[in-house]
Copies of this chain bind each other. A is one copy, B any other.
Amino acid sequence: MHAKYSELVSAFSFRITQRDGLARRGEMTTPHGVVETPAFMPVGTRGAVKAVTAEQLREVGAQIILGNTYHLYLKPGDGLIARCGGLHRFIGWDGPILTDSGGYQIFSLAAMRRIREDGAEFRSHLDGSLHHLTPERAADIQARLGSDIAMVLDECIATPAPAAAAREAMERSVRWARRARARFNQLRESPGDVHVTNAGQAQFGIVQGGTFPDLRTESVQATVDIGFDAYAIGGLSVGEPPEVMYEVVAHTAAQLPADRPRYLMGSGMPDDLIESVARGVDLFDCVLPTRNARNGQLFTREGPLSIKNARFAEDMSPPDPACGCYTCRGFSRAYLRHLFLAGEITGSTLNTVHNLYFYLDTMRRIREAISLGTFEKLRQEFHQTFRRRPQH
């Protein structure tokens, strides 16, 4: 189904096949296969998308997954993974993988962090051990992991941030991006002590600048000047209102090269995905479908549904009657509520299967609508029924 290592294609490429307004349908080719865009990447934090197997990921329609460099670097370690043949072999997933740089987890998880010009110093949330991540090191680690797409190390800041702080972080991220690109190019020429599992790896730059349009514009220009395989919009989905996010996404996406994929990092709710596609975004990742599944929140076309609610105690209908996933085909709200209240692992699995299917099916419907020129209709219909908060 997917390329063997010996048959890996050497280059990353992207081709837009259809447009509908600002929305684009395309094909992103990676060493481990083609990703149809717009696409959503389930998050496989520590080498597994929580509560599901690779087979279940395929069944729900996952084309590409995301791995967290911060977690994998700390445990089991990028060196171990490289010696085991790289991340794909290690985790038994032969489809495309994108790895982040670790920057966001240092910002959100580490026990201590200190940002200096050369990089980020932090203490592990696992054991308090001291680590130093530089733009070069983040590139090296991802080369060892052998992901299909590597991200540059960027500096994440809390929002709302004052303009001066946002500028400082944005400018440092640009300087780091330059160093990350240099290291990436150098690794391509001579991998040195870095275990070569990364044939054909692509590297994406990240646009920062908080919610300030002028900073975003500057960041786009400087990052595109460096020249990456594609570009991500970072620093959003961190608490700002959706309208603000949509505005920044629209402003930023419009300035990014039209012929490269645009990746909105860490976002978001299902309506965020649709609104961002409407503004020209091609790629997404988010922990919401998986994390909320484990917390008993199931996504439906009417919005999230809290499965522990007493009204579902004897409700033998599936979570979402319109859904075609394994969970909805065979299991009831009453049963999923029981499994959740009993703390059964199987409940986490069934909920995760449903939520991922919902997200990935939404992306399928978006791609289809773009092909048919009916994206705007889909968008309106989606908003007519979908509510961001549980209605029951």
A residues 71-91 touching B (CB-CB < 8 Å): 75-76, 80, 83-85, 89-91
Beyond A90-B335, A91-B335, A92-B330, whether A316 also contacts B50 by CB under 8 A is no
Q: If A76-B338, A342-B75 touch, does A316 touch B84 (CB 8 Å cutoff)?
A: yes
Instruction: Assess the A316–B85 pair: CB atoms within 8 A.
Output: yes
Asked whether, in the complex, the Cβ of B89 is within 8 Å of the Cβ of A53, the reply is no
Kindly specify which of A12-20, A144-152, A280-288, A346-354 makes contact with the partner chain: A346-354
A55 neighbours in B (Cβ, 8 Å): 326
Q: Determine whether A52 belongs to the interface, using a CB cutoff of 8 Å to chain B.
A: yes
> For chain A residues 18-62, which have a beta carbon within 8 Å of chain B?
46-55
Number of copies of this kind of chain in the complex: 2
Q: Taking the complex as formed, is A222 at the interface, i.e. its CB lies under 8 A from any CB of chain B?
A: no
Q: Taking A89-B316, A335-B90 as contacts, is the C-beta distance between A46 and B349 under 8 angstroms?
A: no
- A49, A54, A314 pick with most chain B CB within 10 angstroms: A314
**In the complex, which residue of chain B has the Cβ closest to the Cβ of A48?**
B346
- Does A247 sit within 8 A of B, measured CB to CB? no
The verdict on A8 contacting chain B, using a C-beta distance below 8 Å, is no
Question: Does the CB pair A334–B84 fall under 8 Å?
Answer: yes
Interface residues on A, range: 35 or more
A83 to chain B, nearest CB (A): 6
Q: Tell me which of A55, A326, A338 has the highest count of chain B C-beta atoms within 10 A of its own C-beta.
A: A338
> Is A313 in the interface zone, CB < 8 Å from B?
yes
Report how far A84 CA is from B338 CA in the complex, Å.
12
- Assuming A52-B346, A83-B314, A85-B316, is B47 touching A334 (CB within 8 A)? no
B48, B338, B344: the one contacting A344 at CB < 8 Å is B48
From B50, B84, B332, B344, give the contact of A46 (CB < 8 A). B344
A5 on interface, CB distance cutoff 8 Å: no
Q: Are A335 and B53 in contact (CB under 8 A)?
A: no
Is A254 in contact with chain B by the CB < 8 A criterion? no
| Contact residues in B for A331 (Cβ distance below 8 Å) | 92
Closest to A330 in B: B92
Distance (whole angstroms) from the CB of A10 to the closest CB of chain B: 25
A341 in the interface (beta carbon within 8 A): yes
- B residues near A75, Cβ cutoff 8 Å: 338, 341-342
With an 8 A cutoff between CB atoms, is A345 at the interface? yes
Flag if B53 contacts A326 (CB, 8 Å): yes
Q: Which residues does A use to contact B, with CB under 8 Å?
A: 46-55, 75-76, 80, 83-85, 89-92, 313-314, 316, 326, 330-332, 334-335, 338-339, 341-342, 344-350, 353
9 other A-B residue contacts (CB within 8 Å) besides A46-B339, A84-B335: A48-B345, A53-B349, A80-B313, A85-B316, A90-B338, A92-B330, A92-B335, A345-B349, A349-B349
Task: For the complex of A and B, list the 6 residue pairs with the smallest distance between their C-beta atoms, beginning with the closest.
Answer: A48-B346, A51-B345, A92-B330, A76-B338, A92-B331, A48-B344
